[in-house]
Chains A and B, each alone.
Chain A
Amino acid sequence: MTIQRQYSLPNCQLVIDGLSQDAADVTGRPPMSVVTHVECRVAGHDRPILGGKELLESLVKAVSAYAQEYLSGIPHPAARLKHRGIPELVQLQRIDTNLHRLTVQSQVDNPTGKDQAKLYQMPTTPAAQLDLTTVQLFDMVEAVDQFFADAQTLPELSLNLTPLSKRFAAAQEPIAKRALPAALGLSGLTVAAIALFYVPNPPNRRPQPIAANPALNQPLASATPSPTGTATASPAATVAVSPSASPSASPATTLASPASPESVVVASPLVSPAAASPAIASPNGSQAGGSQEIDAILNTAPEIREPGKLDSIIVALQSKLYKGWNAKPPQSFTTKLEYRVGVAENGDILGFKFANDAALTYVKETPLLDLRYNPTGATPSPVPVAQLLVIFRPDGILEISPWHGTTETP
């Protein structure tokens, strides 16, 4: 039995002719299951769009997709294309802010049978092209929506709305625009890499031990000789081995109370070069780290002050140094070389500092470097240390005396 369904709006009329398979049901509104003829009239356009089921399916799909495109502003591929890039029979395109072009690919006069299928596959010029205003487009969408809402007409076709996925939004921007940030980032990285290639490596600075300087600076800060001190100058021309001997050849060495070694005031030129410029203490790179260790040893290690022990240490050191010095080629220096030397109880030279400039210049002519004891551990254990002033004289004589003077045994 033949049925006709009409969906009428002010600017658009959609008429669908079809058949109901359920011929027995004559009461009420029988469901239409087969489409024989579709006609879509738009006000202001004389020729209607005519077709069959394929036209109807394509029309509702394109119109629905285009309505979504109109609302969101993001191009909907289903408004123009079928799957696999085949152009849709009915296409909708925006040509102006308020004009929409509806294109029907081929004229279908005979809506039934195989002829129609053949016609679709043939590339033909657009059979119909309608420019719709926004209101006309809306009426067409509304006609389609009413058709969808009608459960008695082609129930298998229903409104199916899904938001477009992200890749369609991304496709909106041209490739050049999308590639720009990546290109900028990459070129920036390249430029930075080239620029940094020519920048020299930063020098490797090791942290200076804080304990290194205060003990040395403290005496310098109060460099006025204490009037209570016992300044003694020994004009010893020979080796001074007596523990009671004061530091020889130091014109202004002032000895304060021995009980408080921190308050010892040393206003002598012996200390000042080393203290004022610690860098002097490193004649080459291999000794840079050593100098700090010496500072640590000299400042933190417990000091040997017993005259008896000092005596034996001085004797042992003296013979050691003489032996080493004699093995060296004849000395070329003309001034005295003065060193502050830290010696362990067994006579090992744990470290030394230069007490004058000449001492630094001619250090290789003394046996000190060869005899220095190299600790194997990372942190030397705080063994008691005797601090001695060692003077190499140009005439081949060695003077050794306690750095801080000696306690006069009562």
Chain B
Amino acid sequence: MQLSRPPSQPIAPAILDALPNPPLPEAVCPRRTRQQLDLMLLAIEALDLGGAEAMLTAAKELELQSVIKNRVSFWRLRATNPLRRYSQRRPLTLTEAKALVFMTCHLARRMTVLIRQMLLVYDQLLEKQLPLEQHIRLASYLERFRAHFRSRMNPKRTAVIAYNSDEKLNQLAMSLLGQLLFCTGAAGAQRFWSSLFDGEAS
């Protein structure tokens, strides 16, 4: 039996070529990129109860299995976030980052209506100076996000200490929600990808 390609060298899925390689000094993701990618996925998990499962399904749908093989390898990619409790000291390659970008945009697009609705509600509540707990869906998103963030991020990190109050974590959650909305657009993946390397390009 002949193998069409050696199994040890997975070829990057063609979908990833849609994103250009940014002009970086090294071909690995900078710190902020890794952090932002993981936080965006964290926000998706907080939005969707079955978010973690949906991510693995999304990897299959997008045919990204060669990059994201299973639950463990997916966790290892996300744990390159330096803020994590069990942060992995491995680099995140551009191919892996592209896969995470597509996954984020894919999942965000599915929840476009929900994201829009929650952002509108947030604006209305702020305008009327009502507590955010008024809206059950928004409140549960914020609560889950705070719980996820606190359980997974290393509380000794300065960047994590900065989010020491519910209010600050809510703000982070809302800004991530807004960023997720931008990922749902026609050029969402390109915009998100390009923004990940802002201030890092050489």
Chain A residues with CB under 8 Å of chain B are: 67-74, 76, 97-98, 133-135, 138, 141-142, 145-146, 148-149, 159, 161-166, 168-170, 172
Q: Mark B112-123, 1 if CB is under 8 A from A, else 0.
A: 000010011011
Q: Is the CB of A165 within 8 A of B194?
A: no
- In the assembled complex, the CB of B91 is this many whole angstroms from the nearest CB of chain A, namely 18
- In the assembled complex, the CB of A401 is this many whole angstroms from the nearest CB of chain B, namely 78
Chain B residues with CB under 8 Å of chain A are: 22-23, 36, 116, 119-120, 122-123, 126, 171, 174-175, 178-179, 181-182, 185-187, 190-202
Q: Return chain B residues, CB-CB under 8 Å to A149.
A: 186-187
Q: Is the CB of A74 within 8 A of B119?
A: no
User: Other than the known A134-B119, A135-B116, A166-B199, what 19 A-B pairs have Cβ atoms closer than 8 Å?
Assistant: A68-B191, A71-B198, A72-B195, A74-B198, A97-B175, A98-B123, A98-B178, A133-B119, A134-B178, A138-B181, A145-B185, A161-B194, A162-B22, A163-B195, A165-B201, A166-B200, A166-B201, A169-B199, A172-B199
Task: Kindly report which residue of chain A lies nearest to residue B32, judged by CB atoms.
Answer: A72
Q: Return chain B residues, CB-CB under 8 Å to A98.
A: 119, 122-123, 126, 174, 178
Q: Return chain A residues, CB-CB under 8 Å to B122.
A: 98
Pairs of residues from A and B, 4 with the lowest C-beta to C-beta distance, nearest first: A169-B199, A71-B195, A163-B197, A72-B198
- 5 contacts across the A-B interface (CB closer than 8 A): A71-B179, A76-B198, A97-B175, A98-B126, A134-B119
**Contact status of A71 and B191, CB under 8 A, knowing A98-B178, A141-B182, A166-B202:** yes
Q: Return chain A residues, CB-CB under 8 Å to B22.
A: 162-163
Which among B174, B181, B194 has the greatest number of chain A C-beta atoms within 10 A? Answer: B194
Task: Kindly report which residue of chain B lies nearest to residue A165, judged by CB atoms.
Answer: B201
| Contact residue among A69, A133, A142, A159 (Cβ-Cβ distance under 8 Å from B190) | A159
Which among B119, B185, B198, B202 has the greatest number of chain A C-beta atoms within 10 A? Answer: B198
Which among B36, B119, B122, B185 has the greatest number of chain A C-beta atoms within 10 A? Answer: B185
Q: Is the CB of B123 within 8 A of A168?
A: no
Q: Is the CB of A168 within 8 A of B190?
A: no
Q: Return chain A residues, CB-CB under 8 Å to B197.
A: 163
Q: Return chain B residues, CB-CB under 8 Å to A67.
A: 182, 191
CA distance A162 to B190 in the complex (A): 10
CA distance A169 to B200 in the complex (A): 8
Q: Return chain A residues, CB-CB under 8 Å to B194.
A: 68, 161-163
- In the assembled complex, the CB of A73 is this many whole angstroms from the nearest CB of chain B, namely 8
Task: Kindly report which residue of chain B lies nearest to residue A169, judged by CB atoms.
Answer: B199
Q: Return chain B residues, CB-CB under 8 Å to A141.
A: 182, 185, 191
CA distance A164 to B24 in the complex (A): 11
CA distance A141 to B36 in the complex (A): 21
